[in-house]
Amino acid sequence: MSEVMCCLKVESITEQERLEAVRQIVDQYKEEKGALIPVLHKVQEVYGYLPLKVQKIVSEGLDIPLAEIYGVVTFYTQFSIQPKGQYKIQVCLGTACYVKGAGKVLEKIIERLGIKEGQCTPDGRFSLEPARCVGACGLAPVVMINDDVYGEVSPDKVESILERYRQRGDI
């Protein structure tokens, strides 16, 4: 797997420092019962995703077999073994959004970005995935970009929403 660093383009933090941050998180949770999932959440936050080498650190630190960790990582959709875009686009495909045409919004985004669901744009800026209900059904259809929630999105509005993020600098 190529190690493209999409998610965290933070130049000031070196690979070594990030791996150290991962070790610190693992250390912090070592004694806690059922720590694996909280640890994976935190580690993904600092590392961006959960490649094998990161899973190995967690495995050694928490004394849990790597196979078990891999099983957990691949079970939950929030965990990713692929790098994500700097801006993570999630199109809600819950019932209310679906009934109100979320499928067409998704099609439009696919068309504009030229990537499919689960992929990341070559420049590492956007990744796209369908989302389960985000619970803002009153505003269906809903699109989330990182922590920003957009309500009542129509295919017409897609381009102007994407443009905002194209113009922003790196995070």
Q: Enumerate binding residues for other proteins (CB under 8 A).
A: 33-38, 40-41, 68, 71-72, 75-79, 93-100, 104, 107, 131-140, 142, 147, 149-151
Q: Which two tokens stand for residue 141?
A: 């259809």
- Nearest approach in angstroms of CB 55 to other proteins is 14
- Nearest approach in angstroms of CB 140 to other proteins is 6
Strands 87-92 vs 126-131: parallel, antiparallel or unpaired: parallel
Nearer to other proteins, 38 or 122 (CB): 38
Q: Helix 36-47 and helix 52-62: axis angle, to 10°?
A: 140
Give phi and psi for 123, each to the nearest 5: -80, 0
Nearer to other proteins, 11 or 147 (CB): 147
Nearer to other proteins, 71 or 122 (CB): 71
Nearer to other proteins, 65 or 169 (CB): 65
- Nearest approach in angstroms of CB 12 to other proteins is 25
Q: Collect all residues with Cβ–Cβ distance below 8 Å to 99 and sequence separation of at least 6.
A: 140
The count of other CB atoms within 10 Å of the CB of residue 150 is: 19
Alpha carbon distance 40, 22 (integer Å): 9
- Nearest approach in angstroms of CB 113 to other proteins is 16
